[in-house]
Amino acid sequence: MKIRQALISLSDKRGALEFAQGLAAQGVNLLSTGGTAKLLRDAGLAVTEIGDYTGFPEMLDGRVKTLHPKVHGGILARRDLPEHLATIEQHGIPMIDLVCVNLYPFRETVAKGADFDTCIENIDIGGPAMTRAAAKNHDFVTVVTDPADYPALLARLKEHDGATTFDFRKQMAAKAFAMTAGYDGAIAGWFASQGGGWPADLILAGKLHSTLRYGENPHQSAAFYTDGSNRPGAALARQIQGKELSYNNLNDTDAAYELVAEFDTPAVAIIKHANPCGVATHENIATAYRAALACDPVSAFGGIIALNRKLDAETAEEIVKIFTEVIIAPDASAEAKAILAAKKNLRLLLTGSLPDPAQRRLSVKAIAGGYLAQDTDTARILSNDLKIVTKRAPTPEEMSDLLFAFRVAKHVKSNAIVYAAGGATVGIGAGQMSRIDSSRIAAWKMKEMEEERKKKEDSSFFPLPSSLSLASDAFFPFADGLIAAAEAGVTAVIQPGGSVRDAEVIAAADERGLAMVFTGVRHFRH
């Protein structure tokens, strides 16, 4: 179909002038609105303002511009139906052959934290209506919504004497419907986030960020979509160096960065297969890294390292001693970047800031026949939330480690057991079907760590404090898990409580002189 008349109405005006000039060079008549019309007119192009075209001015603060039969009739009329052509001729409606539209920046407005009324005003009405109309009538009308497609459209006009092919129009129509669906999905999701319970229809809107080499395994295809939120992490990070991120890299990096964001003090987390190998806090970030690595240096090989502070040269020097897939941090010094540059395949991601662990957001998992949706676990336990249930109360040192360990346990696959001492994990048991097995694994890893400490006499390995704290992501159903922990040297325990056998577990703790606190909050992570 030859393009004789085009309607251009753009919020994002990137490439608009060059595109319009290309159309004009093909003899295309230009219709436009507001700021777009001014841009083209100021560049010397002949443009008809939409108000002059319809005979109606913009009204209602710009809410009504293109919602007019002369616009939509020209877009929707079928060129192969005599009755459509007769109606068009009767009402003096010229055909519109090309619709070039993008929409008010709703997602961007929400991401900036705008108030409710501002977000409402950034919901586009006329733009989606014209886009959908043109996409529906793609037999005869070309629709383009992405500036990246402007060169391809102009190339086809040159190749086909001012016309586009059906295959191209169909391709652009599919892209247009996906764009309006995503836009409406973002609006619906935002409305759902304003309260009022779970919506009757859950709309997930994502924009393709990149295709990935493969998914969890080479035989699985995969892609990365962004949701328009402004949450710091892998999606918004600047990749300073290194090869392309894989599906597993992105998943693990997200897990690592969300974990370190939990801590107000400098913290480092080393992640492998979405589970922490080691986590530590310390006023010195390099020391925190060494403590995190000491927890399980074997598993840390080929892992993901997250920091909640600027990466400095000292820490970078330590990190490059072992193979690491990804480092993510708010920032990095020039010296640290130079050190990492020698590791060409190591990815360095800088986010500029940390995600808010208390921010309400949606978690979705696909299952056969549908989706499971829930609020992300944003619970953060503080000392005044705890209930001391044993005869002995935790010491200040134990209390600090208990809170630290429980916050780490929140990010460990269930069943989760975390041993902590001196603000660092010293043993982690994850993902076991029985809690006592997780306890045994954590104790076994701690024993290995202690053996390594005996072999090495350097500042990388701290002497264990006099106390040893344990966190469990859910209650102990029996006393056996706690007894096993006591036998491993645990002196204090933090757990949700709520078992019918709580009294037995408390009695076992009292018999062994342990301090134990209940949180009343469970952190299952499947």
Residues annotated as catalytic are 136, 273
Query: What CA–CA distance (Å, rounded) separates 165 from 201?
Result: 37
* Residue 127: closest CA among 179, 70, 66: 66
CA angle 368, 372, 373 (to 5 degrees): 155
Give the 3-state secondary structure of residue 446. Answer: helix
Query: What CA–CA distance (Å, rounded) separates 386 from 496?
Result: 9
H-type helices in 26-68, by residue range?
34-42, 50-54
DSSP for residue 64: B
DSSP 155-210: HHHHHTTTB--HHHHHHHHHHHHHHHHHHHHHHHHHHHHTSSSS-SS-----EEEE
Pairing mode, strands 47-49 and 207-212: unpaired
* Residue 393: closest CA among 520, 514, 519, 518: 514
Mention every residue, 6+ apart, whose C-beta is less than 8 A from residue 404: 263, 281, 420, 423, 469
Query: What CA–CA distance (Å, rounded) separates 76 from 479?
Result: 72
Do 32 and 47 meet the contact criterion of CB atoms below 8 Å apart? yes
Give the 3-state secondary structure of residue 66. Answer: coil
Asked if the peptide bond before residue 415 counts as cis, ω within 30 degrees of 0, the response is: yes
Query: What CA–CA distance (Å, rounded) separates 77 from 75?
Result: 6
The owner of tokens 């005979």 is 55
Do 277 and 294 meet the contact criterion of CB atoms below 8 Å apart? no
Token pair for residue 448? 């290995």
Query: What CA–CA distance (Å, rounded) separates 254 from 139?
Result: 44
Do 95 and 5 meet the contact criterion of CB atoms below 8 Å apart? yes
Query: What CA–CA distance (Å, rounded) separates 85 from 89?
Result: 6
Burial of 206 (0-12, 13-18, 19+ CB in 10 A): middle
DSSP 196-246: SSS-SS-----EEEEEES-SSSTTS-EEEEE-S----STTT-EEEESSPPP
* Residue 473: closest CA among 417, 392, 429: 417
DSSP 258-294: HHHTT-SS-EEEEEETTEEEEEEE-SSHHHHHHHHHH
